[in-house]
Chain A
């Protein structure tokens, strides 16, 4: 059994070149958006905007400008987090979403029927429908390349090693070392998803950030969708019991009224005519 594999993305060295987006699209033969016609966001150099069924990598541009000479760009190559406890895998009703021998999470496109439960379950908004296959799709962490000993296309193409691929143990050690280095330089660096006892049991694609996770479009406390299942099912069952009881109480009351009417000799009610 291979060791768990994943990505460590050091956002401080991302230059926003989008080589990872292109490499991902090419290797996975993902179609162009909007029939290949360019669609500009109009307010950012980030024109991909978000991860979806045909964009499995997205270089997020966070433009923090207070004035013409006061600002910074934060850049982050976003991707599926390959959560150790994956919400998508948990809810998938067809068994299309599987955990591989590399501890990554993969959607089998020939099994998925496009019910879209995984889209709503993912706390990061990673998954969406690929309009060509009409099934849910996302990063596979290049499962096909991993099986033949190759590195994923995106990390292979990254010219600054912002995206690093390797075993999770090795990547965590490297990430902690990098955080220490940055902090020594006065940079407020922090890791997101690197801790195995953190949210979702840790993320097999984790990040080094220099601002709050929300700034990068990441939830501060991602959770599994089933967290509400127990409470929701209990309250629904209790409500069913109340409604059932109300129905039976109404029937009992009607019976009592009929018995009272019978004993007083009142005539029975006629068939319906008022509706």
Chain B
């Protein structure tokens, strides 16, 4: 038996699972928006703006979900500053949860600035001060930082789970890569669904669809490597969560969308399935490990 089976479950469930999904989606969408902002053309601007809106909304929602999940929500700032020595910074580079708290804060800051720039670009904010947020070098740097931090947020959630002593999570180093690939595919899917309302062009949507297919292939490969790395631990998947992983994540969330993309069917259907698969991936990986505590208690451990 793996030594991870002797640890206790942290009860990261109904706020953390949506946070992992929303954070991954927002980070992936922001990264793609930045790629198009930096290297795309004028025809990509609607997708870029949508990406920044999704990122800002997702970052704020992520922060709220994380705060609500705390036992003492009003002490959320203890993760950022030393409570007994304010305003000294609280930061541990070797602790993903500490690193992540700062990453979400900064991702929120830069993505909101980029979203304000997008609003200014659309004429919804008239003040000249906001123009620097969608034109020129400063806007590109702010967006670039948002994109990098967004991609970090999408991936660190998996690393955070690996840096524990819990079954499944700590038994493989692939969870970060898996969540990142899923964040990229769900981010692309969210943009495919939301960007047409802002006038996204056929070129942008086709690029998103192509990227989504490739990200799904990467996700599938990483998922296989993740399962292979688990070795004998894979027995834990002989449960409802294993069924959900195979049918919901692999079948509905990866293979079916890939087939739809390949057949050039309406991409909205594929995108919706990708979002469902991304959520189920977090649900299955979280609850498969959380549920092991039941056996632990039953065994008097």
Contact = CB atoms under 8 A, between A and B. Distances in A.
A105 B166 CA distance: 21
Interface string B171-194: 001111100110010000000110
Contacts of A125: 6-8, 296, 301
A238 interface: yes
Nearest to B100: A93
A50 B301 contact: yes
Contacts of B90: 93-95
Interface residue SS majority, chain B: helix
Interface string A235-275: 11011101110111011001000100000000001111111
A116 B69 CA distance: 10
Contacts of A23: none
B6 A274 contact: no
Interface string A121-163: 1111111110001111000000000000000000000000000
Contacts of A115: 69-71, 79, 97
Interface stretch (B51-59, B120-128, B202-210): B202-210
B40 interface: yes
B109 interface: no
B300 A41 contact: yes
Given A112-B72, A274-B267, A248 B1 contact: no
Interface string A76-120: 000000000001001111111000000000000011111111011
A128 B180 CA distance: 29
A115 B97 CA distance: 9
A188 interface: no
Interface residues of A, number: 77
Nearest to A229: B163
B94 interface: yes
Contact of A246 (B71, B173, B214, B267): B214
B234 interface: no
A226 interface: yes
B10 A116 contact: yes
B211 A250 contact: yes
Given A114-B72, A125-B8, A134-B71, A238 B177 contact: yes
Contact of B163 (A50, A116, A228, A275): A228
A60 interface: yes
A217 interface: yes
Given A50-B301, A95-B90, A129 B177 contact: no
Contact of A93 (B101, B170, B176): B101
Nearest to B95: A91
Contacts of A135: 71-72
B242 interface: no
B247 to A, nearest CB: 24
Given A229-B96, A250-B211, A240 B206 contact: no
Contacts of B299: 217
Contacts, number: 248
A111 B35 contact: no
Contact of B222 (A49, A94, A239): A239
A259 B158 CA distance: 40
A218 interface: yes
Given A129-B11, A235-B177, A111 B83 contact: yes
A225 interface: yes
Contacts of B83: 94-95, 110-111
Nearest to A243: B184
Nearest to A126: B8
A247 B35 contact: yes
A127 B3 contact: no
Given A228-B163, A228-B170, A248-B39, A271 B95 contact: no
Nearest to B75: A113
Contact of B176 (A117, A214, A220, A232): A232
A60 B8 contact: no
Given A125-B8, A219-B3, A113 B78 contact: yes
Contact of A275 (B78, B79, B205, B218): B205
B155 interface: yes
Contacts of A96: 78
A271 B70 contact: no
Contacts of B297: 49-50
B254 interface: no
A127 B69 CA distance: 18
In the A-B complex, list the 5 residue pairs whose CB atoms are closest, starting with the nearest: A114-B71, A236-B176, A134-B71, A113-B75, A125-B8
Interface of B: 1, 3-12, 31-32, 35-36, 39-40, 69-73, 75-76, 78-79, 82-84, 90, 92, 94-98, 101, 151, 155-156, 158-160, 162-166, 169-170, 173-177, 180-181, 184, 192-193, 195-196, 199-207, 210-211, 214-215, 218, 222, 266-268, 296-297, 299-301
14 contacts: A50-B297, A94-B75, A115-B70, A122-B165, A134-B71, A214-B1, A229-B94, A235-B177, A239-B176, A239-B218, A242-B218, A243-B180, A243-B184, A250-B214
